[in-house]
Amino acid sequence: MRILLLDKNHPLITEQLLAKNFILEEDFYSTYEEVLKKIELYDGIIIRSRIPLDQNFLEKAKNLKFIARVGAGMENIHIPTAEKLGIQLINSPEGNRDSVAEHVIGMLLIIMHRLNIASNEVKNGIWLREENRGDELLGKTIGLIGYGNMGKATAKRLSGFGCKVIFYDILPNLSDEHAQQVSLEELKEKAEIISLHIPLTSDTHYLINDEFINEMKNDFYFVNTARGKNVRTKSLVEALKIGKVKGACLDVLEYEQSSFENLDTSTSLNKGENEDLQYLLNSEKVILTPHIAGWTHQSKEKLAQFIVDKILASFC
């Protein structure tokens, strides 16, 4: 089989597939239009997020048998067209679930115990103790939205902190020793911390909005390591300003490029014209990271290995 690799990944992908006599071509720089001209030559594609595989792209990929995304989310692929054409879709959420779970814990500890704030103050000669009293995870009820690989790994770690973990998922009967499945209404009634672990779909776009936030009984901390557009930023900022959201930990932003490589500068975000973004950038109640929750040295290798294993299981 002839496979096109459109993004740089761990070298084990190339090494192991070549060892199984796959024919590989690396193309990390061609544009969408340039790739489109040759896509019919390939049986498989391995991607991250650089090029969108839309309906037009897939219809021109006459011989394509599979698309493998080194990661979890598949929103860069027009799934209905892929399914219609019989193209197998492969991803590797198992590879970065541990990294994401640790990132969630780390962000929560930082914001709830004011670690960044206190550290920066001390480095600037300011020694404040009472003002930097923390808020413990112990005893908190944490609501996870989505209970796939990321949600389960996060629940496992949170349970060790003495938290009560509940979750909502569209699939039934997922409760385990780490977390209890509840309705979305019950989650809004009980949760003191919300963490998102969902894909970006038409149903989850702006899931966190004015209505959702207003229906939360408790003031709450909010964590998003899923997708930026799961959250209506303006709603989140307004809730932070009035204290309904006590603090926000955001690894992803609504304003990211589709490739996740940077913010979308086409909307003048770097010119200070987006007041909501400016609030997030300047507020002590917000922690931001550049889409790195699943981005460890270990996850890079694991993501790649799961992809190779799944390709070999299907095509060898």
Q: Which residues are catalytic?
A: 227, 256, 291
Task: Return the closest-CA partner of residue 165 out of 108, 114, 116, 229.
Answer: 108
> How, if at all, do strands 23-26 and 44-47 pair?
unpaired
Q: Under 8 Å CB-to-CB from 31, ≥6 apart: which residues?
A: none
Provide DSSP, 260-290: SSSB-GGGTGGGT--HHHHHHHH-TTEEE-S
**Taking every pair of C-alpha atoms in the chain, what is the biggest distance, in angstroms?**
66
**What does the block give as tokens for 15?**
């090494």
Count Cβ atoms below 10 Å from residue 314 Cβ, excluding itself.
Answer: 13
**Which parts of the chain fold into alpha helices (H)?**
12-19, 32-36, 55-60, 79-84, 97-112, 115-123, 149-159, 184-190, 210-215, 233-242, 275-282, 297-315
- Secondary structure (3-state) at 191: coil
Whether residue 240 contacts residue 283, with contact meaning beta carbons closer than 8 Å, is answered with yes
Count Cβ atoms below 10 Å from residue 16 Cβ, excluding itself.
Answer: 17
Q: Under 8 Å CB-to-CB from 34, ≥6 apart: which residues?
A: none
Q: Is 111 exposed, middle or buried (0-12, 13-18, 19+ CB in 10 A)?
A: buried
Instruction: Count H helices and E strands in the chain, helices first.
Output: 12, 12
